[in-house]
Amino acid sequence: MNPWRIIQIFSTIVIVTLSTLWIIDGFQVFTKDKTEKITIVKDEIFGTDIEKREWIEDFQLGLLPDDPIHPYRSLAFPSLICIALILFAQNRIHSQENTRP
């Protein structure tokens, strides 16, 4: 198989995988490094439901990076690289087909 085609397939897999991860993580705009665990408990004395909240370490992929100096921690940056690779590979494939006798 043409190595440029392999690069295209690999890039597509990366985009689909990251997009799936982004959807699973809840369409976050920015990447997050913590998630809030909320437990609801019944408070008998005050006769109401009380939320217990705690932050736990949990990476959630966002469309944009949490820190501009780490752009790879996002969906957008690696996806743009992959799209550029797909287009470049397509260009190479096209050139190879045109130069073939």
Partner 1 sequence: MKALLILAGILILSSSAFATQLGNVKGKKVVTLQNSVGTSIAKFNSNSPLEKFEGNSQSLQGSFTLNADNLEQSIGKISFPVRSMKTGLSKRDDHMYGKDWLDAQNHPNIEFELKKLSTISIKKFDNSGFEFSAIAEGMCSVKGIAKPAKAKLVVKYVLESEATRKRAQGDLVMIDADFSVSLKDYNVLGRGDIIGSKVGENIDLDIKLFGSTSN
42 scored as a contact of partner 1 (CB under 8 A): no
Picking from 32, 10, 8, 7, the residue whose alpha carbon sits closest to that of residue 21 is 32
Nearer to partner 1, 44 or 97 (CB): 44
Instruction: Please state, in angstroms and rounded to a whole number, the distance separating the CA atoms of residues 89 and 76.
Output: 20
CB of 54 to partner 1, least distance (A): 9
Q: Is 65 left (phi over 0), alpha (psi -120 to 50) or beta?
A: beta
Query: Which of 46, 98, 100, 101 contacts partner 1 by CB under 8 A?
Result: 46
Provide the binding-site residues for partner 1, judged by CB under 8 A.
29-36, 43-48, 50-53, 55, 66-67
